[in-house]
Amino acid sequence: MTDYSVDIARMEALTAGEFHDVVKLRVDVFVVEQNCPYPEIDGKDPEALHMRLRDDNGLFGYARLFAPAAPSGPARIGRVIVAPSHRGQNMGRAVMREAVTACEKLWPDTAISISAQAHLQNFYAGFGFVVTSEEYLEDGIPHVDMLRKPVAGAAA
């Protein structure tokens, strides 16, 4: 497994170059690789926390984290991504493990929601997420909503 570091920052704390790298990775995978023209710059980056996984070669994993929108609402994880160069090395699991752990620390005793590509349901189920919606199309790709209930004492 790759040795890596994790950092979580608000958009304004990232340098222009660091944010460029994040957006480039997201566009390279979500728009170009998945052949899905959609507005990757969606106006939500300023309210998100940006979790980056890096190794000696630079940025390879990423997720956006959102605080609960309402006092009893869930935190949200989105834009989960692993660079093509790091696939097949369990780095997707590393990104999700780090994202869930961060949410548990930042927002203890809070559920976590995701909008998952439908073919990844089993992957996310491995982290305790359960499907909470019918399948729907988001930008032409089948998705389902999933929720992970709070784990008592997870932030301890």
The answer to the question of residue 41 being in a domain is yes
Cα–Cα distance, 66 to 106 (Å, whole number): 10
Q: pTM of this prediction?
A: 0.91
Average pLDDT, the chain: 92
Range(s) of the domain holding residue 49: 5-108
The answer to the question of residue 116 being in a domain is no
Beta bridge partners of 78: 64
The answer to the question of residue 125 being in a domain is no
The total number of structural domains that make up the chain = 1
Q: What is the pLDDT of residue 133?
A: 97
Considering only CA atoms, which of 100, 116, 95 is closest in space to residue 150?
Answer: 100
Task: Output the domain CATH number for residue 88.
Answer: 3.40.630.30
- Give pLDDT tens digits for 85-133: 999 899 999 999 999 999 999 999 999 999 999 999 999 999 999 999 9
The answer to the question of residue 135 being in a domain is no
- Give pLDDT tens digits for 54-63: 999 999 999 9
Q: What is the pLDDT of residue 155?
A: 54
The answer to the question of residue 144 being in a domain is no
